[in-house]
């Protein structure tokens, strides 16, 4: 079935696009709304956005594929994005990534079997003063240590009713 | 902390994201003053010009001058864009303002919009700053409710609408024309200048793009006058600047420092030197896009635009990356190359191809499998990349990496010769060459570019025909301020 935003969100997309001289400016806000609703952006969703904004579909595909913030395939419930920029690297982001893989079984670019987590390396997230850091969904987690990571992951596993294996 | 915040003190006031707290500390007083005492837009521009405030995003262009470039007496709507796309590695100063003191930014934006007659303002935030975005959204809503934004503000007849707009993970959108393209819903590819945004920017209308820190400094300058702001800093770099310090340093964080402050004092007293009592090895002082400095150069300079240039680097965005003696410079070069290769928008050939080549070649070195003559070729490619593109992203990979190779040649030579790092003793990249096939790059023959007079049409004479579906509807925006 073709992708559709909820009626309220469709209305929001329409409203937001009126803030700009041309509806094309509404593409990024619309993609953000799609992502907030479904976690990732499919081609169907792009078609839907194009229709809502009355712009050619190619405009939306173009934006989706240029801007790396929008995942183009489903992500885990917790999308773990670890910064591997220069400042985080200096303070041990590679160790963080290794720890996430070894201790918590995350794989780069893949969703774990339970559907909870997926790991991505990302470029500088602008929190260099509190490196190493990661972004999980909308939130930043900074000054990461192994204990802090364990605590966070235990919490998430519990919240998902999954327990620690 | 020995350093006092003069302009951005609001960051340290708890609860300052709430309009009531902000007003208690004198917030929006200046905006009200400007409108109610009928300060003329020209006067506002004059004060900002006299203060010597310079763009804090990296380029350091005088702010008042930028505003004065906006044409007067045009019937086109004007736009103010706040550049909150802070993505320069090592830079995290704007985030502080967005999350802790958004009202000062909004007040600054209102005054700026008034100064050159913008009717609509957008805050373009990087997509990852979800918290900052929520803070600014909430602050705009509060300001509107309190009557600081909207129509006919304080009965002055001046209208201003303000919105947020989220980017989506593209570093290049911090470049002002790329930001405009992105705000138009397109891929963030920088435009050729001229025309400058002040004349033809957002949907071809006069537009000013200013950094968060620049705009947030405006209310205090209007309140206390240009002389007050000039009490800090040097003749050419007046005022104070937010510096974000990260890496191997004892006390990382955001500091407001008067320009011209001695670097040695700042590093040793305020930052507490390198962490773990180690020795300093290198510093990139202005976000990862500028030349790497050796400790001697670094400690000898003062913290202003001119002095840092004299000592071989640039102030840039003020994002200082400190590296201690355990840092492998080849590894740093590889990390930097990865970043720029990832972030090149792909528009200009020297950058699109060059960042890829540089990244590949350094990764090969890090995998212990460099091709013969890799060092010369790296320099060769980087020379071709410098100054040959529309925007400075291409230069931005060249400056740090080339200076690393020049200032720490023995480390690169060792890695190329021995296949492992001189510092860590390890080969960092475990995998084979990226392509899994031999990398051989050919040195190109010099290319004879066709001369401009041989083109049948010059770019100036090409008519810009905008298709129907791309025509912006400016009726509303024109109406706003008559």
- Digits of tens for pLDDT over chain B (482 positions)? 478 999 999 999 999 999 999 999 999 999 999 999 989 999 999 999 999 999 999 889 999 999 999 999 899 999 999 999 999 999 999 999 999 999 999 999 999 999 999 999 999 999 999 999 999 999 999 999 999 999 999 999 999 999 999 999 999 999 999 999 999 999 999 999 999 999 999 999 999 999 999 999 999 999 999 999 999 999 999 999 999 999 999 999 999 999 999 999 999 999 999 999 999 999 999 999 999 999 999 999 999 999 999 999 999 999 999 999 999 999 999 999 999 999 999 999 999 999 999 999 999 999 998 988 999 999 999 999 999 999 999 999 999 999 999 999 999 999 999 999 999 999 988 755 544 443 444 444 444 444 555 444 444 444 556 677 778 888 777 655 54
- Is the CB of B474 inside 8 Å of chain A's CB atoms? yes
Residues of B in contact with A29 (CB under 8 A): 165-166
User: Chain A closest CA to B469's CA: distance in Å?
Assistant: 7
pLDDT recorded at residue B441: 43
User: Chain B closest CA to A8's CA: distance in Å?
Assistant: 19
- Is the CB of A110 inside 8 Å of chain B's CB atoms? no
Select from A145, A122, A28 the least CA-distant residue to A75.
A122
pLDDT recorded at residue B479: 57
- B187 and A66: CB-CB below 8 Å? yes
- Is the CB of B133 inside 8 Å of chain A's CB atoms? no
ipTM of the complex model: 0.94
Residues of A in contact with B248 (CB under 8 A): 90-91
The backbone torsions φ and ψ at residue A82, rounded to the nearest 5 degrees and listed phi first, read: -100, 130
Q: Which residue of A has its CA nearest to B344?
A: A66
Host H or E run for residue A119: strand A117-122
- Is the CB of A91 inside 8 Å of chain B's CB atoms? yes
- Is the CB of A141 inside 8 Å of chain B's CB atoms? no
- Please answer whether residues B84 and B123 qualify as being in contact, where contact means their C-beta atoms are separated by less than 8 angstroms: yes
- A32 and B319: CB-CB below 8 Å? no
Q: What is the CATH number of domain B240-324?
A: 3.10.20.600
Closest CB from B171, B185, B471 relative to A59: B185
Specify the length of chain A in residues.
165
Q: C-alpha dihedral over A140, A144, A147, A152, to 10 degrees?
A: 10
Pick the CATH number of B329-432 from 2.40.50.140, 1.20.1440.230, 3.30.930.10, 1.20.59.10: 1.20.1440.230
What does the alpha-carbon distance between residue B119 and residue B150 come to, in Å, rounded to a whole number? 10
Residues of B in contact with A13 (CB under 8 A): none
pLDDT recorded at residue A2: 87
- Is the CB of B91 inside 8 Å of chain A's CB atoms? yes
User: Chain B closest CA to A46's CA: distance in Å?
Assistant: 13
- A127 and B288: CB-CB below 8 Å? no
- Is the CB of B81 inside 8 Å of chain A's CB atoms? no
pLDDT recorded at residue B212: 97
Residues of B in contact with A129 (CB under 8 A): 92, 244-246, 252-254
Token pair of A58, please? 């190619």
pLDDT recorded at residue B465: 64
- Is the CB of B86 inside 8 Å of chain A's CB atoms? yes
- A89 and B332: CB-CB below 8 Å? yes
pLDDT recorded at residue B432: 52
Residues of A in contact with B321 (CB under 8 A): 86-87, 90, 128
What does the alpha-carbon distance between residue A1 and residue B256 come to, in Å, rounded to a whole number? 54
Closest CB from A19, A56, A87 relative to B89: A87
Helix, strand, coil share (%) of chain A residues, nearest 5: 50, 10, 40
Question: Would the pLDDT of A115 be above 70?
Answer: yes
What does the alpha-carbon distance between residue B470 and residue B304 come to, in Å, rounded to a whole number? 44
- Please answer whether residues B319 and B246 qualify as being in contact, where contact means their C-beta atoms are separated by less than 8 angstroms: yes
Closest CB from A56, A87, A125 relative to B246: A87
Secondary structure (3-state) at A122: strand
Residues of B in contact with A69 (CB under 8 A): 127-128, 167-169
- Going by their DSSP bridges, the two strands B161-166 and B120-125 should be labelled as parallel
What does the alpha-carbon distance between residue B174 and residue B167 come to, in Å, rounded to a whole number? 10
What is the SS3 string spanning chain B? Answer: CCCCCCCCHHHHCCCCCCHHHHHHCCCCHHHHHHHHCCCCHHHHHHHHHHHCCECCCCCCCEHHHHHHCCCCCCCCCCEEEEEECCCCCCCCHHHHHHHHCHHHHHHHHHHHHHHHCCCEEEEEECCCCHHHHHHHHHHHHHHHHCCCCECCHHHCCCCEEEEEEECCCCHHHHCHHHHHHHHCCCCCCCCCCCCCCCCCCHHHCCEEEEEHHHHHHHHHHHHHHHHHHHCCECCCCECEEEEEEEECECCCEEEEEECCCEHHHHHHHHCCCEHHHCCEEEEECCCCCCCCECHHHHHHCECCHHHHHHCCCCCCCCEEEEEECCCCHHHHHHHHHHHHHHHCCCCCHHHHHHHHHHHHHHHHHHCCCCCCCHHHHHHHHHHHHCCCCCCCHHHHHHHHHHHHHHHCHHHHHHHHHHCCCCCCCCCCCCCCCCCCCCCCCCCCCCCCCCCHHHCCCCHHHCCCCCCHHHCCCCHHHHHHCC
DSSP state of A60: H
- A128 and B336: CB-CB below 8 Å? no
Token pair of B335, please? 């990390």
Residues of B in contact with A32 (CB under 8 A): 127, 166, 168
From residue B2, alpha-carbon distances to A65, A146, B257, B265, B270 in Å are: 47, 33, 10, 11, 7
pLDDT recorded at residue B482: 41
Q: How confident is the model at residue A128 (pLDDT cuts 50, 70, 90)?
A: very high
- Please answer whether residues B38 and B114 qualify as being in contact, where contact means their C-beta atoms are separated by less than 8 angstroms: no
Closest CB from A25, A70, A91 relative to B184: A25
Closest CB from A69, A84, A91 relative to B169: A69
What does the alpha-carbon distance between residue B363 and residue B338 come to, in Å, rounded to a whole number? 9
For chain A, list the domains and their CATH numbers.
7-66 (1.10.10), 78-159 (3.40.30.10)
Residues of B in contact with A89 (CB under 8 A): 331-332, 335
From residue B361, alpha-carbon distances to B133, B231, B377, B451 in Å are: 39, 49, 9, 33
pLDDT recorded at residue B461: 45
Specify the length of chain B in residues.
482
- B161 and A55: CB-CB below 8 Å? no
From residue B115, alpha-carbon distances to A11, B79, B80 in Å are: 35, 12, 10
Question: Would the pLDDT of A53 be above 60?
Answer: yes
B482 vs A92, residue with greater confidence: A92
pLDDT recorded at residue A1: 61
Give the residue extent of every domain in chain B: 9-230, 240-324, 329-432
pLDDT recorded at residue B177: 97
Residue B261: HSE in the Cβ half-sphere, 13 Å Cα cutoff = 23
Token pair of B352, please? 């699109």
Q: Which of residues 350-409 of B touch A (CB under 8 A)?
A: none
User: Chain B closest CA to A23's CA: distance in Å?
Assistant: 8
- Is the CB of A89 inside 8 Å of chain B's CB atoms? yes
Closest CB from B94, B165, B170 relative to A67: B170
The backbone torsions φ and ψ at residue A118, rounded to the nearest 5 degrees and listed phi first, read: -145, 150
> What homologous superfamily does CATH list for B9-230?
NADH-ubiquinone oxidoreductase 51kDa subunit (3.40.50.11540)
Question: Taking the mean position of all CA atoms in its chain, how far away is CA A17?
Answer: 23
């Amino acid at each position: 079935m073709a992708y559709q935003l909820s009626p309220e969100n469709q209305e929001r997309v329409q409203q937001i696009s009126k803030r700009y001289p041309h509806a094309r400016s509404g593409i990024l806000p619309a993609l953000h709304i799609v992502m907030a609703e479904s976690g990732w952006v499919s081609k169907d969703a792009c078609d839907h956005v194009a229709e809502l904004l009355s712009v050619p579909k190619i405009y939306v595909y173009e934006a989706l594929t240029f801007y790396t913030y929008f995942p183009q395939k489903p992500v885990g419930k917790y999308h773990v994005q670890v910064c591997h920029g220069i400042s985080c690297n200096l303070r041990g982001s590679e160790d963080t990534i290794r720890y996430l893989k070894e201790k918590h079984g995350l794989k780069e670019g893949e969703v774990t079997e339970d559907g909870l987590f997926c790991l991505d390396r990302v470029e500088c997230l602008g929190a260099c003063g509190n490196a190493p850091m990661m972004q999980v969904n909308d939130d930043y987690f900074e000054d990461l240590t192994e204990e802090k990571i364990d605590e966070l992951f235990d919490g998430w596993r519990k919240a998902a009713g999954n327990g620690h294996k | 902390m020995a350093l006092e915040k003069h302009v951005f003190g609001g960051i340290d006031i708890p609860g300052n994201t709430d309009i009531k707290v902000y007003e208690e500390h004198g917030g929006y007083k200046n905006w009200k003053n400007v409108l109610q005492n009928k300060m003329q837009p020209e006067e506002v521009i004059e004060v900002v010009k006299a203060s010597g405030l310079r763009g804090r995003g990296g380029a350091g262009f005088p702010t008042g001058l930028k505003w004065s470039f906006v044409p007067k007496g045009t019937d086109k709507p004007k736009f103010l864009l706040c550049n909150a796309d802070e993505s320069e590695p090592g830079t995290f100063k704007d985030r502080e303002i967005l999350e802790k003191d958004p009202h000062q930014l909004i007040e600054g934006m209102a005054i700026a919009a008034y100064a050159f007659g913008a009717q609509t303002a957008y805050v373009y935030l990087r997509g990852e700053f979800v918290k900052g975005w929520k803070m600014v959204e909430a602050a705009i809503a509060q300001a509107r409710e309190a009557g600081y934004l909207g129509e006919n503000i304080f009965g002055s007849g001046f209208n201003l609408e303000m919105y947020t707009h989220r980017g989506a993970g593209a570093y290049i959108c911090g470049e002002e024309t790329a930001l405009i393209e992105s705000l138009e819903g397109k891929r963030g590819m920088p435009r050729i200048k001229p025309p400058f945004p002040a004349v033809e920017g957002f949907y071809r209308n006069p537009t000013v793009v200013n950094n968060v820190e620049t705009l947030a400094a405006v209310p205090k300058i209007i309140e206390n006058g240009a002389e007050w702001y000039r009490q800090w800093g040097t003749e050419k770099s007046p005022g104070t600047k937010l510096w974000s310090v990260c890496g191997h340093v004892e006390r990382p964080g955001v500091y407001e420092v008067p320009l011209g402050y001695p670097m040695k004092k700042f590093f040793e007293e305020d930052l507490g030197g390198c962490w773990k009592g180690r020795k300093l090895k290198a510093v990139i002082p202005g976000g990862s896009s500028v030349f790497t400095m050796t400790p001697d150069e670094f400690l000898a300079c003062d913290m202003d635009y001119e002095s840092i240039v004299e000592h071989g680097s640039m102030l840039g965005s003020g994002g200082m990356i400190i590296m201690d003696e355990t840092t492998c410079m080849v590894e740093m070069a590889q990390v930097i190359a990865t970043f720029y290769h990832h972030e090149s928008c792909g528009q200009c050939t020297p950058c699109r191809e060059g960042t890829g080549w540089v990244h590949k070649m350094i990764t090969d070195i890090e995998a212990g499998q460099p091709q013969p003559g890799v060092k010369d070729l790296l320099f060769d490619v980087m020379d071709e990349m410098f100054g040959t593109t529309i925007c400075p992203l291409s230069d931005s990979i060249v400056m740090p990496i080339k200076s690393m190779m020049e200032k720490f040649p023995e480390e690169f030579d060792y890695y190329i010769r021995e296949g492992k790092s001189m510092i860590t003793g390890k080969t960092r990249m475990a995998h084979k060459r990226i392509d899994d096939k031999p990398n051989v790059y050919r040195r190109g023959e010099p290319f004879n570019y066709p001369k401009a007079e041989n083109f049948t049409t010059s770019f100036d004479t090409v008519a810009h025909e905008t298709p129907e579906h791309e025509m912006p509807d400016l009726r509303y925006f024109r109406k706003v301020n008559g």
